[in-house]
A and B are shown apart, each in its own frame.
Chain A
């Protein structure tokens, strides 16, 4: 494996969930059910009294339609659907990759948002508490509340945000928008 391939793999593994937790949960339940089925089968084979339901009664209940079997069918269908969905959906974590020559770099979206927010704060010259930023997979959003009496130029703020994003070059690409709130706030 070349370093490039290895890094791609490391990044992919950091950005997407492994589903190990889901598999462990599903298999743990499977184990419990299988243990129970095994015990009941052995008890019935040895002609001992059943713990809860003997296999013969169980098969009989499955074969005769009733509201109970229908309800169990509905529940099994719902759980099965959820499990299949968990297996199929990509389940991406909120993280971005940053290109780097030496390392594979992955950044939490909240860190990225903080960095963009800090850049905008510096440009705007307002207290940090008045800048809120957020990063999703392809979009970044910064909201600035100006100090009343000193209007802010949103395009200048956007330029500073874009400049930072351009130097970081996160993958997947980010489109950052800066909105300046209409009403200002009195304060430092």
Chain B
């Protein structure tokens, strides 16, 4: 869950792939000519500098793209400003509130929270890890109750994404049974 533009990711990948395919087609066409293509001229001093400049631009743009992936995580869930000052609530506080509420559920192994900026809003991502064979209805309803309490405490309604996962730990956790 990050802010990276997924369509552009795909577009760029497709572009890189097509460039490779084009180069491959050109090379193959040189060996087995199907259509007449111009041969690459022997490089001159000017074209060498141009090639170096293009390579530099490609390097800079690629690095910019690489380091702009995965942005959007924030540490503050809510920030309110008034004339008297600003108040902000950190993700960790929210995470603790929810975890405490869910701690007594036997099916829940762990709770983690992260806040993300998504198109102008801050959304809270709750990741609840459960044991194998957990009662999903109970887990979801409990989280819903915990979020309702959170709404009351914060006096506002923040967008919440609940992801119920069976983490690595869940695989080792023994299933609880009542006989």
Q: Hey, which bits of chain A sit against chain B, CB under 8 A?
A: 1, 3, 6-7, 9-11, 13-14, 16, 18-20, 22-24, 26-28, 30-31, 34-35, 37-38, 41-42, 44-45, 55-56, 59-60, 62-66, 69-70, 72-77, 79-88, 98, 100, 102-108, 110-112, 114-115, 117-118, 121, 128, 164, 167-168
Q: Hey, which bits of chain B sit against chain A, CB under 8 A?
A: 1-2, 4, 6, 9-14, 16-21, 23-25, 27-28, 30-32, 39-43, 45, 48-49, 51-52, 55-56, 58-59, 62-63, 65-66, 69-70, 118-121, 123, 125-126, 130-137, 140, 143-144, 147-148, 159-166, 175, 177
Q: Is A65 a contact of B31 with CB atoms below 8 Å?
A: yes
Nearest Cβ in chain A — how far from B24, in angstroms?
4
Q: Which of B30, B55, B125, B135 has the most CB of A within 10 A?
A: B55
Nearest Cβ in chain A — how far from B148, in angstroms?
7
Q: Is B55 a contact of A102 with CB atoms below 8 Å?
A: no
Residue in B1, B9, B42 whose beta carbon sits within 8 Å of that of A23 in the complex = B9
Q: Is B6 a contact of A118 with CB atoms below 8 Å?
A: no
Q: Is B70 a contact of A20 with CB atoms below 8 Å?
A: yes
Q: Is A110 a contact of B48 with CB atoms below 8 Å?
A: no
| Chain A contact residues, majority secondary structure | helix
| Distance of A184 Cα from B123 Cα, bound (Å) | 50
Instruction: Please name the residue on chain A nearest to B61 by beta carbon.
Output: A27
Instruction: Please name the residue on chain A nearest to B67 by beta carbon.
Output: A24
A104-B161 in contact given A22-B13, A23-B9, A45-B49 (Cβ < 8 Å): yes
